[in-house]
Amino acid sequence: MSRLSLFNSPLLLGFDHFERTLDRVAKAGAEGYPPYNIEQVSDYRLRITLAVAGFAIEDLEIQLEDNQLTVRGKQKDDPARVFIYRGIAARQFQRSFVLAEGIEVASATLDNGLLAIDLDRPRIETQIRTVPIKRAGADDMGGRKTEGRVAIDGNQAAQRAPREE
């Protein structure tokens, strides 16, 4: 049985990595611990805050592989401690976040049981460039070569201007 792709259109060239990213997000979204917030601190900064009460800095690890940010926590059980009742479990966790292309991890801080990870979003500048169009044959009618230019910015139609050599 074949799977129907969201990015199956011939107009969406080079978006296959988005489909793989969406698959990773769907697989990682079912976990509930630890709880977290994602907030927009400024136009170009995001912050992920995880509630990791009881974890020390030595118990936490943050890794970035490709565009996947993974936070792991593992507490070590102290065999010298004897619990009469244990309502606070010493559990481990792994929480993953898929980051957009270009997002950079700026810093991570642990304060009062909250792990804050600051992410910088790049400033995107619109780029417009002209791509020359060349005729496939060596000569065009009467020994004249023609070349046109097309502006690529998403809004302008193709503009062609013959050019003589």
The reply to whether 20 falls in a domain is: no
What's the CATH number where 103 sits? Answer: 2.60.40.790
Residue 38: closest CA among 24, 51, 28, 49: 49
- 91 with 146, same domain? no
- Does residue 163 have a pLDDT over 90? no
CA distance 116 to 51: 9
Tell me which of 126 and 138 has the higher pLDDT. Answer: 126
Burial of 110 (0-12, 13-18, 19+ CB in 10 A): middle
CA distance 118 to 30: 23
The reply to whether 45 falls in a domain is: yes
pLDDT at 83: 86
Tell me which of 12 and 122 has the higher pLDDT. Answer: 122
Q: Please state the pTM of the whole predicted model.
A: 0.62
Range(s) of the domain holding residue 105: 32-120
pLDDT at 43: 92
Residue 135: closest CA among 164, 104, 112, 114: 164
Residues 149-160 pLDDT 10s = 555 555 444 444
Residues 40-91 pLDDT 10s = 999 999 999 999 988 999 999 999 998 899 999 998 878 898 889 988 777 8
- 157 with 94, same domain? no
Confidence class of residue 103 from pLDDT cuts 50, 70 and 90? very high
Q: What is the largest CA-CA distance in the chain?
A: 99
Beta-carbon contacts of residue 109 (< 8 Å; ≥ 6 apart)? 115, 116
